[in-house]
Amino acid sequence: MQLGAMIPQNDIHGSAAALRSFAAAAEEYGYRYLLAADHVLGVNVASRPDWPRDRNTSADFFHDPFVMFGFLSGVTKLGFATGVLILAQRQTVLVAKQAASLAVLCEGRFRFGVGVGWNPVEFTGLNENFHNRGRRSEEQVEVMQALWAAPHVDFTGTYHRIEDAGINPLPPGGRVPVWFGGHHENTLKRIARYGDGWMMLAHPAGAEALAQFDTLRRLTEAAGRDPAALGIEIWTSTGAGTEKDWREELLFWKRAGVTHVTVASTHGRGGHARIAGRGLADHIEALRRYQAAVGDLL
């Protein structure tokens, strides 16, 4: 199992000094990767009094993940993952280029977590169609994988056309691992066909999560692929429970075949509780405590 940490952008914001300090602490404590959430636009809640309180707004801080990871690739040897980037909001060829460039700069230590999104306001602002985002994102992954694998590509699909052209640089090994976030049945089908892994965020440790893992493995076999080659990532938090509880939860996930555990101590949904503190020192201490509690189990 690999242990990673979500960058608590909304708490520590994103100065170069804060990012360097958080990355250095994670690396010192034995973490393997940093994960970043992503939103491009946030709504003004003053004009939307009915906006759900647990959804992102313009008050929430998000660096562009490619820019932030490009900076961090020069100051740490940790890996990076997006958790997740909303692919259908963006131009496919441009994203393929950005992901390949980052993969070169960090020497292949990048997992590209993608999702279909939930916020139509962002799609409107980015001039993309919210209503076909699932179907379109499938073709986007096909296009990106083709562009990463060869110097020149001919592709004609429903939403894309490339005429004997390619990106440069190409990523190491001709690929960037694509992980999908989300919990709709169609998400599991996309992972089975195209994905390298699943970022599973909705289910706490228990029977429902195990049932979903079994479903994913069956779908992957039906697609003619080896389910043992798929990774599974879960998020955890140090905002509730004791060190003993954290160990028991991690052992459950380990027995279930989870490959990546991300400490996401600002995440307060889906059974997670955020930590009380909001400063950089609070988050670094959360990293230290969690690794000290579970490090021997990895």
SS (H, E, C) 154-179: EEECCCCEEEEECCCCCCHHHCCCEE
Structure-token pair, residue 6: 């979500």
Which pLDDT belongs to residue 36? Answer: 97
Structure-token pair, residue 211: 């049932």
Which pLDDT belongs to residue 184? Answer: 87
Q: Does this model's pTM top 0.85?
A: yes
Domain boundaries, position 122:
2-297
Which pLDDT belongs to residue 86? Answer: 97
Pairwise CA distance, residues 186 & 121, whole Å: 23
Q: Cβ neighbours of residue 218 under 8 Å, at least 6 residues apart?
A: none
Pairwise CA distance, residues 72 & 271, whole Å: 30
Contact indicator for 230, 260 with CB cutoff of 8 Å = no
Per residue of the chain (298 residues), what is the pLDDT tens digit? 999 999 999 999 999 999 999 999 999 999 999 999 999 999 999 999 999 988 999 999 999 999 999 999 999 999 999 999 999 999 999 999 999 999 999 999 999 999 999 999 999 999 999 999 999 999 999 999 999 999 999 999 999 999 999 999 999 999 999 999 998 899 999 999 999 999 998 789 999 999 999 999 999 999 999 999 999 999 999 999 999 999 999 999 999 999 999 999 988 776 788 999 999 999 999 999 999 999 999 9
Domain count, the chain: 1
SS (H, E, C) 92-103: HHHHHHHHHHHH
CATH number of the CATH domain containing 110 = 3.20.20.30
CA-based R_g, the chain, Å = 19
